[in-house]
């Protein structure tokens, strides 16, 4: 495809009304913001800004994550980060996002999760008042936490009943942590009973058994990744039968070597098997991607028509935890795409 055609397609996908349901706030730091904060704090940068997001391996990546989150140590900085996230949504043509945040990564906010939520809410609210897209929070447990720590978090979320918080989430390396569904089943059951939605990372570092546990033990309303369900046709059938959507992140899966190439990626096989799939960025800054590019990658690989793109975008809206009015508006706009 020549450059003008690529540019036109990217513009069209930017204009596509859509939601994003699998994106981590920890993965949206812009080097310019981090450099500014580091200078203000008198903290050394790990490397120059132009190479800040070049990682030498997993240990380097994890060290960077701790460093970056550690800089966001004031309410104003969290609000700035939330506002910048909404600016990113607007640039991508995304009308709404469920954004995941894991409090264990944010050292300055340990024991102050409520204050953290309120600081982020201030940034999101300011963005909404300026006409930018809106977002809600999915508060995530880490797989290495205990059942008691999970229960404490659920108790707090239920007590606070903060309108910015949409869901309980869980993330972390399943391959390293082992099977954790039984450990967190009670916390997720109580979260669901209290009206919180439930979204679960599974089927990335774990195989299809992780997806089954997410469904049967954690009561997942939505699964983050879920792609390795393709390895068990019974799990694929279960997803399709129950209509549980997957928040799939193609570039992330390729970068982390879940699949060797986009041709080998199962998103299209899952879609054709009746599984509801959406396209997402996961960690857009760290992976140097954006949502239109993720759609473009799937479209160019699998030959998605406008009708299929609309179907996937509609799934993203339906699978989101947005309110009914936001969903209705986005779907009304989607019905008019493409405009030419």
Calculate the alpha carbon distances from 190 to 20, 155, 255 in Å. 26, 9, 35
In a domain, residue 83? The reply is no
pLDDT digits (tens, 9 = 90+) for 265-311: 999 999 999 999 999 999 999 999 999 999 999 999 999 999 999 99
pLDDT digits (tens, 9 = 90+) for 22-54: 999 999 999 999 999 999 999 999 999 999 998
Calculate the alpha carbon distances from 157 to 69, 97, 280 in Å. 22, 20, 26
- Residue 172 has what pLDDT? 86
In a domain, residue 327? The reply is yes
Query: Do the beta carbons of residue 164 and residue 120 sit within 8 Å?
Result: yes
In a domain, residue 248? The reply is yes
Domains in the chain: how many in total? 1
Q: Which residues are catalytic?
A: 204
In a domain, residue 25? The reply is yes
3-state secondary structure 261-295: CHHHCCHHHHHHCCCCEEECCECHHHHCCCHHHHH
What is d(CA 33, CA 79) in angstroms, rounded to the nearest whole number? 12
- Residue 283 has what pLDDT? 94
Strand extents, DSSP E, 162-210: 165-171, 197-202
User: Which residue segment(s) compose the domain that 272 sits in?
Assistant: 3-31+98-112+135-334
In a domain, residue 63? The reply is no
In the Cβ-directed half-sphere of 123, how many Cα atoms lie within 13 Å?
A: 23
pTM score = 0.95
Q: Tens place of pLDDT for every residue, the chain, 340 residues?
A: 457 878 888 999 999 999 999 999 999 999 999 999 999 999 999 999 999 998 887 678 778 888 999 999 999 999 999 999 999 999 999 999 999 999 999 999 999 999 999 999 999 999 999 999 999 999 999 999 999 999 999 999 999 999 999 999 999 888 788 888 999 999 999 999 999 999 999 999 899 999 999 999 999 999 999 999 999 999 999 999 999 999 999 999 999 899 999 999 999 999 999 999 999 999 999 999 999 999 999 999 999 999 999 999 999 999 999 999 999 999 999 999 998 6
Cα–Cα–Cα angle for 228, 14, 139, rounded to 5 degrees: 50
What is d(CA 28, CA 292) in angstroms, rounded to the nearest whole number? 16
Q: Residue 142 belongs to a domain with what CATH number?
A: 3.20.20.140
What is d(CA 205, CA 208) in angstroms, rounded to the nearest whole number? 10
- Residue 142 has what pLDDT? 94
Convert 108-120 to b/e letters by CB count within 10 Å (16 or more is b): ebeeebeebbbbb
Owner of token pair 């309980």: 168
In a domain, residue 172? The reply is yes
In a domain, residue 231? The reply is yes
């Amino acid at each position: 495809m020549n450059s003008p055609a690529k540019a036109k397609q990217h513009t069209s996908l930017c204009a596509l009304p859509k939601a994003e349901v699998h994106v981590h706030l920890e993965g949206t730091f812009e080097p310019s913001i981090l450099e500014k904060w580091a200078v203000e704090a008198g903290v050394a940068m790990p490397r120059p800004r132009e190479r800040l997001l070049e990682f030498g391996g997993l240990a380097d990546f994890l060290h960077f994550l701790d460093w970056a989150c550690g800089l966001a140590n004031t309410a104003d900085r969290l609000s700035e980060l939330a506002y910048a996230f909404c600016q990113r949504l607007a640039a991508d043509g995304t009308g709404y996002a469920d954004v995941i945040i894991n409090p264990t990564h944010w050292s300055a906010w340990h024991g102050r999760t409520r204050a953290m939520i309120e600081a982020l809410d201030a940034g999101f609210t300011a963005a909404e008042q300026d006409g930018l897209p809106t977002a809600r929070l999915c508060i995530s447990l880490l797989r290495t936490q205990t059942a008691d720590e999970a229960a404490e978090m659920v108790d707090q979320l239920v007590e606070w009943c903060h309108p910015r918080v949409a869901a309980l989430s869980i993330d972390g390396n399943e391959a390293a942590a082992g099977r954790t569904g039984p450990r967190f089943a009670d916390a997720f059951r109580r979260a669901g009973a209290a009206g919180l939605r439930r979204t679960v990372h599974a089927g990335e570092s774990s195989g299809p058994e992780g997806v089954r546990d997410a469904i049967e033990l954690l009561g997942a309303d939505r699964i983050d990744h879920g792609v390795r369900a393709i390895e068990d046709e019974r799990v694929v059938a279960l997803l399709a039968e129950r209509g549980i959507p997957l928040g799939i992140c193609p570039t992330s899966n390729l970068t982390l070597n879940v699949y060797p190439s986009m041709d080998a990626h199962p998103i299209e096989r899952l879609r054709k098997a009746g599984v509801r799939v959406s396209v997402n960025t996961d960690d857009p800054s760290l992976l140097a991607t954006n949502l239109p590019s993720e759609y473009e990658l799937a479209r160019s690989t699998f030959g998605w028509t406008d009708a299929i793109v609309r179907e996937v975008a509609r799934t993203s809206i339906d699978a989101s935890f947005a309110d009914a009015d936001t969903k209705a508006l986005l779907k009304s706009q989607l019905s008019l795409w493409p405009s030419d």
